Chain A
Amino acid sequence: MTGLRVSGLTVGQTFETVVVEDLKRTQIVQYAGASGDYNPLHTDDTYATTIAGYPSVFAHGMLTMGLTGQAVAALVGTENLLRFGVRFTAQVWPGDTLTVRSSLARIEETAAGPVAELSVSTVNAGGTEVLSGYAHARLAR
């Protein structure tokens, strides 16, 4: 079982993972097919530009959250995750490189054991935050 141990952690500690480099339109299409969200804003450049007025297709918010979730799950272990929530703060475009930065905000002692509260921020190569959120996960002693 993967996860974090209380003994190895310091409040304020940060973790950084690159979750996608040069996001391809094909990966957005791959996510559309797997998730079931076929919104042409994400999959159809002609529609996105001509009808909706965007410069190109853009990623589903849930693709950004999913990529962020992979980094969080690798850090804490999916089975330890108690809460995971985000706000989408900017759009993600083809060509973007995304980095997930998590920092340990606090460790809460609960009846069920220690829980890590991470603040999570995903940024593009220009440093713009595209997602801002939190993840709470059980810790091993």
Chain B
Amino acid sequence: MAVTRFPVEAGHVLMFARALGAADPAGGLPAVGDPAPPTFAIASSQFDPDYPLRPRPGEPWHGSGAEPGLVKDGAGGLHAEQHFVYERPIQVGDVLTSTSRPGQVWEKRGRSGRLRFREQITEFRDGAGELVLTARSVSVQREAV
């Protein structure tokens, strides 16, 4: 996953904060320079052209319509952990880029099979190339034995 342009727009930050139960700021919209919620980096998926969990015109979608949906292979598993290291908050008006790389992979034996953990590390940088934050996510996939 790489996002070449993640514009941190006031309306997007407003909608994200509302979804987290926040009251609207005075004046209705956050101002340029206001910090976004601490987990806002995750919303960069809106600007990832290859993000798999967004329906696209003309492409099959696994959710329900006339039929209840389709089993999706390799859906990426469940989200097990998420970590952020901040150099500064993401702010309204930032235009960020991100680059991701795979981290460690490890296994655990669970009650119902093998659990495979996979780490992904994503760096977010601002227009000047300065690091803003580093995100590390861990997903887990169950494999029957």
Which A residues are within 8 Å of any B CB, using their own CB? 19-20, 27, 30-31, 33-40, 43-44, 46-47, 50-51, 60-63, 65-67, 69-70, 72-73, 78-79, 81-88
Among B12, B55, B82, B136: residue with most chain A CB under 10 A:
B82
- B35 at interface (Cβ–Cβ under 8 A)? yes
CA distance A75 to B15 in the complex (A): 22
Which residues from chain B contact A38 at a C-beta distance below 8 Å?
53-55, 63
Query: Between A and B, how many residue pairs show CB distances below 8 Å?
Result: 131
Docked-complex contact B19 and A85, CB < 8 angstroms? no
**Which residues of B does A touch, CB under 8 Å?**
12, 15-16, 18-22, 35-39, 42-43, 45-46, 51, 53-55, 62-64, 68-71, 75, 78-86, 88-89, 136
A86 touches B19 (CB 8 A): no
Out of A36, A47, A84, which one reaches B63, CB within 8 Å? A47
Could you jot down 30 A-B contacts, CB within 8 Å?
A31-B19, A33-B19, A34-B12, A34-B15, A35-B43, A36-B45, A36-B46, A36-B53, A39-B53, A40-B62, A40-B69, A43-B63, A46-B69, A50-B64, A50-B68, A51-B68, A51-B69, A60-B79, A61-B78, A62-B79, A66-B20, A66-B39, A69-B38, A73-B38, A79-B35, A79-B89, A81-B38, A81-B86, A84-B86, A85-B82
Q: Which residues of B contact A73 (CB under 8 A)?
A: 37-38
